[in-house]
Structure 1
Amino acid sequence: MIKKGLLALSLVAASMTASASLEGMKPIVGPDQPLGYLIHNPYENAPLTALVTLNGHSISDVSVTVHAKEGGVPISYPVGDIRIMDEGGVPIFGLYPNHMNTFTVTWTEAGEQRSHDYQMLAPAVDLGYTNDQWAHTPLIKPITVDPDFKDRLYFINWTKADGKVAQLNHNNIEGPGTFNWDGVPGFMIVDTAGDIRWYMNPYTTHDSKSYENAGYAMGMNLTDKGNMVWVQGQGWKQMTLMGRMVSEHSLPGDFIDASHEGIQVENGNMLIRAARKNYRRADGKLVNTVRDQIIEVDMNGQLVDFWDLNEILDPMRDAALISLDAGAVCLNININKAGHQTTAEEVASAPLGDIHGIDVGRNWAHINSIDYDPTDDSIIISSRHQSAVIKIGRDKEVKWILSAAKGWSEQYQDKLLQPIGADGKALSCTIRGECKDSDFEFSWTSHTAYKVDEKGTWTVFDNGDGRNLRQPFFAKEKYSRAVEYDIDETNMTVKQLWAYGKDELKYAGYSPVTSIVKYQQDKDSMMSYFASAGLFGVGGGYGNTKMDDTTGKVKSILVEHRYGEQEPAVRIDIDSHQLFATGYRAQVIRPADMLK
């Protein structure tokens, strides 16, 4: 039975006559008729999708084109035969919001190729309302789009609150963890003309009153089946591009607070950044830990392995922590503390919970990305609060550390990578990471670190806070970079191959939190998202949050470069239209991979 409100009829079925009747919702049949009727948003989670039902037709070799509106970009994709059966019809992705869309479905049936044009009105975008936004949706402004990148689709997401969030908290006042971080999902897909072509319904996928469905929706990645997978508070979810929720899993019983990264890796399992509950410290204090656990689960949600970073790394290292700008520590955005450098006393005496500080029970590690290297069965993590990228084996032993040397104890000294120049010679670097007579720079408060399997290199988003373990005299000296490194794991060296942002974007691209850089094999390119650019304003005064100035109005910058080039093939600026609603991640979306 079709739910009320889901049924939408084809408006331009050319072969339908005025005398044709649906006879009480029954689809029209006949050799000259198209397929069945249309269902808008069939699973309630993706309002810019539709389904063309089959009505008993047996079809194959299906392709879909959603035609561009004036000045727009068409979306065309094939649909796998098995996907047709899986969805129960032809999946339609990429409808324009608040627009009478036209799309064409082409298929083979009984040895003949057929096609039909449909029309459907899709609703306006509704990402939820907050009292500090001044426009309905983000403003997506294409700046540069080279012709061979015009077909690009980018998934972007935001962290935003609506005044109803964080209604649930842990009862352990001594260690509240990060559960109180909650926000309305801001998942969307945009094209290179600046139009939103898909978004996730925040009302059906999030519930601030539910332990299982509260929490920030973060770290969206794709599975080997082409489904979207992400972490959200106390669990993780898997959904098709059409919005069908394939699975929803709670975290294993001893773990809490999933955020930032959930990624299916080559062995078929999921790696998730989480925390531990009721953790007994060496001093006997019982705490909930913060952003310091990596868990491996199978696709059924069962625990396979875990990495306790409190045991593997040094939670007492404060070298990077005392260089942070206290105004922006990931989700903790306090504009009144912008520019204040954290002190050793503050990180040692900070309250327990999601506060940057040393020791278990505080946010000493802040792991924000995970990758996996199948060549040696190791994980790679980005630790914002250690300003380090670290590779750790299945045996829980550190293999190497990409970081400035200051503060690392004796047991880690032989794990630190040695920077080298283009000539292969070792660079002279201070313990604060300043390398003389070289363009090489370490990454600082990084937010992603991924292996480029096709190149044998590594990409890191260098946010740049606490660069060289200090705050600059002038805030405008700060910058962020997308970086590619070549790491020789045998000789324990690291060489910088490419970087973008320092000279090109300067302070205008400075993103104190979030962001990503990721290699794209299909176009041999680098996609980078300077997600929180403009968080503190460019030329605006700290602490001033009036809506008519720049402070707090994030203008994220998405760029994609042909491999090795400095001039972007794509640049898209995104204005959140909401105070402190920071962009989080971006991904290139290929419908053919997701509807195969």
Structure 2
Amino acid sequence: MFAKKLLGIAILCSIGSMGIASDVNASALGMKPKTGPNEPLGYIIHNPYENAPLTAVVTLNNHEISDVTVTVHAKKGGVPITYPVGDVRIIDEGGVPIFGLYAGYMNKFTIKWTEDGKRKSHEYKMLTPDIDMGFSQKNWAKAPTAEVIKVDPKFKDRLYFVNWTTADSKTGLMMHNNPDAPGAFSWDGVPGYMIFDTAGDIRWYMNPYTTHDSKDYENAGYAMGMNVTDKGNMVWVQGQGWKHMTLMGRMISEHSLPGLYSDASHEGIQIENGNMLIRAARKDYKRSDGMVVNTVRDQIIEVDMNGQLVDTWDLNKILDPMRDAALLSLDAGAVCLNIDINQKGHTSSAEEMANSHLGDIHGVMTGRNWAHVNSVDYDPVDDSIIISSRHQSAVIKIGRDKKVKWILGASRGWTGEFADKVLKPIEDGKLLKCSDAGKCEDTSFDYTWTQHTAYKVDEKGTYTVFDNGDGRFLEQPALPTMKYSRSVEYKIDEDNMTVEQIWEYGKDELGYEGYSPVTSIVKYQADKNSMMSYFASSGLYGLGGGYGNLKMDDTTGKVKSILVEHEYGKTEPAVRIDIHSHAMFATGYRAQVIRAADMLK
């Protein structure tokens, strides 16, 4: 009897599969999404990988298509986004990737494609959720907002990726919060990654809850130093590892740091040989005096895209961790991410720095934040790296042999073999007369001070550096409002060991309004022959005479970042967008130009 029942079930299933019992076949689809009556391709998947809420994929439903172009239509007063999609990318994403949707809006987008030799087109509609980038008692807005000041028509299609650093009440659960503990793991915060268009609308942001977990050692930490790979994907460092993700939010890979390293922040960049350079720290490092410490922001590692260690640069052995010339002039109220208004205007003495506790605090000797490297670049011409060392107020080129090639910075404190590596400033072909504190006579030339980002411009043979401007000439000015920040371009003659300043922006044009004590970037953009600059922490201390009366409940903690883009060589910006913070002391970190066509090809 049991065998007969099984035979009957088998016959029924066979009949259904032949189409005789079509209702059985239909029910087998269960809850599978179905396309509407006027949808020529497949169904839509919103936020397919949960990491990028303003993206979607239009599935193919077995259609074979090619030559795809997508346009996300602008809302009133907005900017449309149009990009081609590579045929392989469509297979890779499992459908047509839709990037650049508005938040909390009934979006319209058009897909054009070729199928069976015919050109086809269809307009879709899709409602998206509102932005959720994390909330805390410090918030006054759900996300940073953009105030568009100026956009030259030639730059209207620009998309600017920006990221912010801030903590919320969900982060910090694993932070040791112990001033006597070594290392920099105390830094944790909700990731603030987003893309603005030139109308000031957010067209992409990263889900902070799926890419960060403050309860997990491997997934805690600030998300910083986002860069674009040769395949058009995103890479960034985050605490104890680094991540590799597509613009659509598909996490290609997540890597832990090699075993002896920790505390990755500020920079993770793919270089010409396909590997990654990452700024990190060392665990259990034995100093010359026998003390074992965790180092702070003074290690450069090279790993392949699988995370395997390739090479290392230990700056404690390459440079001089006892040089204090720049450290003595730092405003202790803002030492990179350490924003401490109780230390406003204070500069540390040599004795204080030599005897201060270990960990992420500015001071001399391995185990303190003596170097604070905040960017790394690579020169394939001579297989060297270029670092920006904030706490040495110096840009330094170092060879694969771990030898210093040149130092761009004031000469004070560089002794022995380093003294011969300091570049000599020139103007109109003549050597300038400069003091050891970096003050040069009868010239517009200036060094960079507590700078962020130093990148080689391969197309021009020059270097761009963001001069934050704290500790200029190795001192603090009489008034805080005398400070300013600059974007600067230098030309370096390595044969003659000279440096010439060929462009700057910010000193006269912005003054104290643009003063950014921490973070920021300037980077050449080859596609439009332009310079993009991000004065990321301008307004951190308010614009009314400094921060002498600032209290934690003052709204002067509302930071205004200034994003500008210049046609090459010009000082009048073609684009200016002011980006206002959404929470107390939420500080802009970096910006990048994003080209959707390159990232979805």
TM category, shorter: over 0.9
In 2 relative to 1, CA 120–265 (structure 1 residues): closer, same or farther, beyond 3 Å?
same
Does the 8 Å contact 2:175/2:188 carry over to 1? no
Is residue 256 of structure 2 the alignment partner of residue 250 of structure 1? Answer: yes
Within a 5 Å distance, the mapping from 1:207-222 to structure 2 comes to 207-222=213-228
Of 568, 573, 581, which residue of structure 2 is paired with 1:568? 573
Which residue, out of 99, 105, 109, partners 2:111? 105
Match of 1:117, SS state, is: strand
Residue 450 of structure 1: SS of its match in structure 2? strand
Per the alignment, residue 528 of structure 1 pairs with 533
1:542-595 alpha-carbon deviations (Å, 9 max, x no partner): 34236564x221100000000000100000001102111110000000000100
- The answer to whether structure 1 residue 229 and structure 2 residue 215 are counterparts is no
Q: Deviations 1:159-198 (Å, cap 9, x if unpaired)?
A: 0101232222469996520011100000000001000000
What letter matches 2:289 in structure 1?
A: D
Write the distance in 2 (CA, Å) between the matches of 1:351 and 1:142: 45
Higher-helix-fraction structure: 2
Is 1:252–1:302's contact at 8 Å kept on the other side of the alignment? Answer: yes
Distance of aligned partners of 1:411 and 1:243 in 2 relative to their CA distance in 1, 3 Å threshold:
same
1:23 shift after superposition: 8.2
Question: What does residue 498 of structure 2 align with?
Answer: 493
CA distance in 2: counterparts of 1:195 and 1:26, whole angstroms:
31
**For residues 337-388 of structure 1, what are the alpha-carbon distances to aligned partners after superposition, in whole Å with 9 as ceiling and x for unaligned?**
1211222122111110000000000000000000000000000000000000
Shift of 1:471: 0.2
Amino acid corresponding to residue 512 of structure 1 in structure 2? P
- Structure 1 residue 293 corresponds to structure 2 residue 299: yes
> What is the aligned partner in structure 2 of residue 123 from structure 1?
129
Distance in 2, matches of 1:536 and 1:170, equals 28
For residues 99-144 of structure 1, give each alpha carbon's deviation from its aligned partner in whole angstroms, at most 9, with x where no partner exists.
Answer: 0000000000111110100000111111100211211111210000
Deviation at 1:493, TM superposition (A): 0.3
Residue matched to 2:246:
240
Match of 1:47 in 2: 53
Partner of 1:330: 336
Q: Distance in 1 between matches of 2:554 and 2:338?
A: 23
- Alpha-carbon contact 1:515-1:532 (below 8 Å) kept: yes
Q: Indicate which of 59, 63, 71 corresponds to 1:65.
A: 71
Which has the higher Rg, Structure 1 or Structure 2?
2
- 2:524 is aligned with 1:519: yes
Between the aligned partners of 1:183 and 1:495, the Cα distance in structure 2 is 39
Of 540-549 and 223-232, more deviation after overlay is shown by 540-549
Matching residue's letter, 1:431: D
**1:331 shift after superposition:** 1.0
Q: Distance in 1 between matches of 2:133 and 2:35?
A: 35
Partner residue in 2 for 1:27: 34
Change (3 A) 1:33 1:184: closer
Return the letter of the residue paired with 1:129.
F
**TM-score, length basis structure 1:** 0.94
Q: Is it true that 1:434 corresponds to 2:412 in the alignment?
A: no
Shift of 1:295: 0.1
The change in CA–CA distance for 1:256 and 1:548 in structure 2 (over 3 A counts) is closer
Q: Residue 335 of structure 1: CA displacement?
A: 1.3
Partners of 1:349 and 1:576 in 2: CA distance? 37
Alignment of 1:532-551 (within 5 A): 532-539=537-544, 541-545=547-551, 549=555, 551=556
Per the alignment, residue 414 of structure 2 pairs with 408
Could you tell me which residue of structure 1 aligns to residue 323 of structure 2? 317
* Residue 554, structure 1, aligned to residue 597, structure 2: no
Q: For 1:343 and 1:497, how far apart are their aligned partners in 2?
A: 35
2:588 to 542, 563, 583: 583
Q: Which residue of 2 aligns with 1:164?
A: 170
CA distance, structure 1, for counterparts of residue 120 and residue 380 of structure 2: 45
Within a 5 Å distance, the mapping from 1:348-497 to structure 2 comes to: 348-421=354-427, 423-497=428-502
Q: Secondary structure at the match of 2:83?
A: strand
Does residue 1:203 correspond to 2:215, yes or no?
A: no
**RMSD of aligned residue pairs (Cα, Å):** 1.6
C-alpha distance in 2 between matches for 1:337 and 1:121 = 48
Equivalent-residue separation in structure 1 for 2:145 and 2:258 (angstroms): 39
Q: 8 Å contact 1:157–1:188 — kept in the other structure?
A: yes
| Cα offsets for 1:202-231 (capped at 9, x unmatched) | 000000010000000000001111000000
C-alpha spacing 1:543/1:231, structure 2 compared with 1 (3 Å)? farther
Q: Distance in 2 between matches of 1:315 and 1:331?
A: 21
TM-score (norm 2): 0.93
Gaps of 5+ in 1: 1-20
Which residue type is aligned with residue 505 of structure 1?
L
SS in 1 for 2:91: helix
Q: How big is the shift at 1:336?
A: 2.0
2: distance between equivalents of 1:448 and 1:257? 19
The DSSP-based 3-state class of the residue aligned with 1:468 is helix
Partner of 1:306: 312
1: CA distance between counterparts of 2:351 and 2:147? Answer: 44
CA distance in 1 between partners of 2:315 and 2:521 (Å): 23
